[in-house]
């Protein structure tokens, strides 16, 4: 028996149980929350930043309409979203990830869930949301945008509202996508219509509420990964 086999026997089965436990615990909690909207964005955005303030306004509006606000649970934009939902006594979910240096959970998430694995956390973002807002952010935000966009594009999840907030931030990327992906034939015709760009929190809220009205009450809202 070689070292690789011994390592698998000692470590990997227990890792599988830990992964299962993350899914069981998070599914059990989030299944009681009702339909939610996930707001992604930078952990580095300060409370004085206009995008932070816009996120607070956006989250307050969503929570007032009985939609849970779901974030990564950390600082910056995530804190702003949880803060806005909490201000109006809404459901404020923080799916915090354990990182060695960067992220600690913010105090505004009244439904905190901790994760060790990025992939199980990502499943929960998508499984319990009926809309997604992408505020300006870094690698993580871009990763989350393209991952959710790919799931919609390939039909793995319903065509939930995908909202890019902040024209100034997103315009350069969208210009490249049109010039390179669309014109180069790397994506299908109409794929760039799968998301909306806005600078207005009220417009973002309206898009999500229109979708919720079209699909019906919470018990019949389409679920991702059903």
Whether residue 88 contacts residue 114, with contact meaning beta carbons closer than 8 Å, is answered with no
All structural domains of the chain with their residue ranges: 3-216
Give residues with Cβ within 8 angstroms of 174, minimum separation 6.
164, 192, 197
Distance (Å, whole) CA 18 – CA 13: 9
Select from 226, 30, 35 the least CA-distant residue to 129: 35
pLDDT at 4: 57
Return the CATH number of the domain spanning residue range 3-216.
3.40.50.450
| Least-confidence region, from 13-22, 67-76, 158-167, 202-211 | 13-22
Residue 223 DSSP label: P
Mean pLDDT to the nearest integer, 160-189: 97
**pLDDT exceeds cutoff 90 at 1:** no
Give the residue among 222, 18, 29 at the shortest CA–CA distance from 124: 29
pLDDT in tens, 100-135: 665 677 999 999 999 999 999 999 999 999 999 999
Q: Report the mean per-residue pLDDT for the chain.
A: 91
Averaged over 145-150, what is the pLDDT?
A: 98
CB atoms closer than 10 angstroms to residue 184 = 8
Neighbours of 9 (CB within 10 A): 10
Q: Is the Cα torsion angle 174, 178, 179, 185 positive or negative in sign?
A: positive
Q: pLDDT: is 24 or 2 the higher one?
A: 24
- Give bridge partners of residue 163 from the DSSP assignment: 133, 196
Instruction: Decide if pLDDT at 221 tops 90.
Output: no
pTM greater than 0.85: yes
What is the pLDDT, as a whole number, of residue 155?
Answer: 95
């Amino acid at each position: 028996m070689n070292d690789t086999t011994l390592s698998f026997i000692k470590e990997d089965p227990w890792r599988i149980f830990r992964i299962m436990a993350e899914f069981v615990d998070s599914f059990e909690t989030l299944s009681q929350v009702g339909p939610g909207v996930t707001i992604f964005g930078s952990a580095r955005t300060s409370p004085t930043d206009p995008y932070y303030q816009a996120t607070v306004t956006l989250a307050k509006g969503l929570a007032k309409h009985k939609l849970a606000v779901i974030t990564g649970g950390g600082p910056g934009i995530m804190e702003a979203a949880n803060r806005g939902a909490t201000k109006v006594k809404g459901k404020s979910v923080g799916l915090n990830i354990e990182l060695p240096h960067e992220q600690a959970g913010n105090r505004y998430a009244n439904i905190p869930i901790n994760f060790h694995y990025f992939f199980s956390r990502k499943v929960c973002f998508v499984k319990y949301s009926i809309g997604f807002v992408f505020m300006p952010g870094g690698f993580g935000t871009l990763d989350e945008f393209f991952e959710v966009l790919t799931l919609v594009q390939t039909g793995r999840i319903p065509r939930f509202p995908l909202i890019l907030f902040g024209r100034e931030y997103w315009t350069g990327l969208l210009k490249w996508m049109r010039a390179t992906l669309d014109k180069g034939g790397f994506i299908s015709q109409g794929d760039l219509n799968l998301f909306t760009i806005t600078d207005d929190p009220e417009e973002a809220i309206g898009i999500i509420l229109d979708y919720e009205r079209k699909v019906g009450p919470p018990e019949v809202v389409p679920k991702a990964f059903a």
